[in-house]
Amino acid sequence: MSIEFGKPLAPTPTPIPGLVVWDLPVHGDTRGWFKENWQRQKMLPLGLPDFGPVQNNISFNDQVGTTRGIHAEPWDKYVSVATGRIFGAWVDLRHGPTFGAVYTTELDPSRAIFVPRGVGNAYQTLHPDTAYTYLVNDHWTPTAPYTFLNLADETADIPWPIPLHQAEISDKDRTHPRLADVTPLPPRKTLITGANGQLGRALRAEYGEHPWIEYTTRHTLDLTHPDLPTARHWRDYDTIINAAAFTAVDHAETPTGRRDAWAANATAVAALARIATENDITLVHISSDYVYDGTKPTPYTETDPPSPLNVYGHTKAAGDAITATVPRHYIIRTSWVIGDGHNFVRTMTTLAARGINPNVIDDQTGRPTFTTDLAAGIHHLTRTQAPHGTYNLTNTGPPTTWADIARTVYHLTGHDPHRITPVTTHDYYANAPGPVAPRPTNSVLDLERLQRTGFIPREWRTSLAEYLAR
């Protein structure tokens, strides 16, 4: 066997998305050879996913023609040859447009391949005493969902160097289904918490009903329960969108509210952050304009330091800081959320219809965020794999006040906007029966970073008109 020595470390993409062949530098002399089989620090900058291997396996094969496969496992694997030579065949068995795509090549100690989850792999030995080794990023379990393809499938039409009737094949591998009968391996799951809330319902409408999308409420998944780390097989998940939160801003100023706000907005987020970090999951965390004190004279950017005024804001800022420790994270900072449920616009619509002329706060400035636009923006970031980090996400349009929004609601519903009386925050809450949390006077968020990703939220008055029409 001849090994090519001295090749530079280099990746070569294949027609199957994510399947990448790696040339490895092998250094040899009369004593033998040495190579760095997997080198994270060098390979990540060249495009190898930071796939987090947890197990190293070796397959030793006595005879030429030993053939194994075609197996698609629910984990990523990095395959290399320790000694000998193999012919490899890979078939995309994932749900999607490249289902059935085929790639073949030979591997020796100077070549390795990264095989993404759901791509079927098969190997045929071309030399006796061949051993190949593979790193995987999940522990084997008998309950793991596998997908298989028959080695002799006519559609894949793999050009085996040694005809299959001469090869050493297990009885089980001979009975795998043809491509037409294969059930594609679904993608890793997306978990959406808080599915019954305003944002949760909008996320359900945005993401739809699919086997790989899971919606939970606090009754089906308690984020504060100590058993959360074992509540799911978390390696099956790719993304967690945490739409569950404590949002009763004034109640958070009470002893029980303070406890509940910290439990939902910080403690639960910490538990999800640990799970996301340990299992290579993207964590999407919903933040708030309330992490700021509102004294800045210009719109807040993602790099402005938090300075919350109230308990709710402190708990949200804590959740932000925790989420920022997750390698794959999106912190979505939003404001004045309006969706399917009890909210300011619905209240104004009801008051207008009942002939009531309300006092409305006119010294807080910001932009509303409609949950349909918020959900669409989150989906855009996760679908396009935008750079991880913090993004401001509200509707666009001129900054406004609650009183101006109320006037617009009255106007669009056919009522006189002059029925709205503007008042200060102090006067509005002057006779409040319970504690009142201080609010930021400036909640305007700068949207430039979000827009650079290609997502332009709708103007808030357009979304308001559509919301009222529904």
pLDDT at 64 over 60: yes
Identify the domain containing residue 443 by its residue range: 189-469
At 101 the pLDDT is 97
Concatenated DSSP letters of 158-172? ---SS-GGGSB--HH
Q: What is the mean pLDDT of residues 139-168?
A: 92
Structure tokens given for 6: 């001295």
77 shares a domain with 196:
no
CB atoms within 10 A of CB 348: 24
214 shares a domain with 118:
no
232 shares a domain with 199:
yes
At 33 the pLDDT is 87
> What's the pTM value of the predicted model, to 2 decimals?
0.88
Query: Is residue 378 assigned to a domain?
Result: yes
pLDDT at 259 over 70: yes
**Burial of residue 104, with CB atoms counted within 10 A of its CB: 0-12 exposed, 13-18 middle, 19 or more buried:** middle
Point out the domain boundary residue: 181, 214, 242.
Answer: 181
Q: What is the mean pLDDT of residues 418-446?
A: 93
Residue 183, CA distances (Å) to 73, 129, 303, 356 in order:
13, 34, 46, 59
Query: Is residue 1 assigned to a domain?
Result: no
**Alpha-carbon distance 427 to 350, whole Å?**
23
**Alpha-carbon distance 290 to 333, whole Å?**
9
62 shares a domain with 196:
no
Q: What is the mean pLDDT of residues 35-47?
A: 93
Query: Is residue 125 assigned to a domain?
Result: yes
Looking at the DSSP assignment, which residues form a beta bridge with residue 366? 400
At 418 the pLDDT is 94
Point out the domain boundary residue: 181, 208, 239.
Answer: 181
Tens-digit pLDDT profile for residues 419-431? 999 999 999 998 8
Three-class secondary structure assignment of 79-99 = EEEEECCEEEEEEECECCCCC
At 28 the pLDDT is 85
Q: What is the mean pLDDT of residues 188-192?
A: 95
122 shares a domain with 230:
no
200 shares a domain with 289:
yes
- Sign of the Cα torsion 368, 371, 376, 381 reads positive
Concatenated DSSP letters of 365-410? EE--EEHHHHHHHHHHHHHHTPPSEEEE---BSS-EEHHHHHHHHH
Mean pLDDT (the chain) is 94
**Residue 175: DSSP 8-state:** T
Structure tokens given for 177: 């289904």
At 140 the pLDDT is 83
At 30 the pLDDT is 79
Query: Is residue 4 assigned to a domain?
Result: no
Structure tokens given for 4: 């090519």
375 shares a domain with 245:
yes
At 31 the pLDDT is 85
Query: Is residue 453 assigned to a domain?
Result: yes
Looking only at the bridges linking them, the beta strands covering 119-125 and 67-72 are antiparallel
User: Which CATH number fits the domain that encloses residue 266?
Assistant: 3.40.50.720
At 157 the pLDDT is 95
Point out the domain boundary residue: 153, 181, 209.
Answer: 181
Residue-level length of the chain? 470
**Alpha-carbon distance 142 to 211, whole Å?**
21
**Alpha-carbon distance 265 to 245, whole Å?**
6
**Alpha-carbon distance 86 to 192, whole Å?**
43
Is residue 4 very low, low, confident or very high in pLDDT (cuts 50, 70, 90)?
confident
Q: What is the mean pLDDT of residues 406-418?
A: 95
Is residue 39 very low, low, confident or very high in pLDDT (cuts 50, 70, 90)?
very high
- Sign of the Cα torsion 5, 8, 12, 18 reads positive
**Alpha-carbon distance 75 to 115, whole Å?**
9
Count of domains in the chain? Answer: 2
Q: Which residues contact 384 (CB under 8 A, 6 or more apart)?
A: 453, 454
Q: What is the mean pLDDT of residues 140-166?
A: 92
243 shares a domain with 149:
no
HSE of 142 in the Cβ direction (CA atoms, 13 Å)?
0
**Residue 22: DSSP 8-state:** E
User: Which CATH number fits the domain that encloses residue 47?
Assistant: 2.60.120.10
Using alpha carbons, select from 333, 408, 402, 340 the residue that is nearest to residue 367.
402
Of 136-145, 255-264, 296-305, 354-363, the one with minimum mean pLDDT is 136-145
Looking at the DSSP assignment, which residues form a beta bridge with residue 359? 421
Query: Is residue 3 assigned to a domain?
Result: no
249 shares a domain with 113:
no
Is residue 146 very low, low, confident or very high in pLDDT (cuts 50, 70, 90)?
confident
At 204 the pLDDT is 96
**Alpha-carbon distance 470 to 191, whole Å?**
28
118 shares a domain with 254:
no
**Alpha-carbon distance 29 to 11, whole Å?**
25
pLDDT at 1 over 70: no
Q: Which residues are catalytic?
A: 71, 134
At 432 the pLDDT is 86
98 shares a domain with 209:
no
Tens-digit pLDDT profile for residues 115-133? 999 999 999 999 999 999 9
Is residue 466 very low, low, confident or very high in pLDDT (cuts 50, 70, 90)?
very high
- Token pair 């297990």 is at which residue? 170
Tell which wins on pLDDT, 295 or 342.
295
Q: What angle do CA 333, 334, 337 make, to 5 degrees?
A: 155
Tens-digit pLDDT profile for residues 71-103? 999 999 999 999 999 999 999 999 889 999 999
pLDDT at 294 over 70: yes
Is residue 206 very low, low, confident or very high in pLDDT (cuts 50, 70, 90)?
very high
Tens-digit pLDDT profile for residues 354-396? 999 999 999 999 999 999 999 999 999 999 999 999 999 999 9
Q: What is the mean pLDDT of residues 192-196?
A: 95
- Sign of the Cα torsion 259, 264, 266, 272 reads positive
Tell which wins on pLDDT, 192 or 4.
192
Query: Is residue 372 assigned to a domain?
Result: yes
**Alpha-carbon distance 419 to 29, whole Å?**
90
Query: Is residue 5 assigned to a domain?
Result: no
pLDDT at 434 over 90: no
196 shares a domain with 150:
no
Q: What is the mean pLDDT of residues 317-328?
A: 97
Q: What is the mean pLDDT of residues 278-305?
A: 96
Please, are residues 103 and 14 in contact by the beta-carbon 8 Å criterion? yes
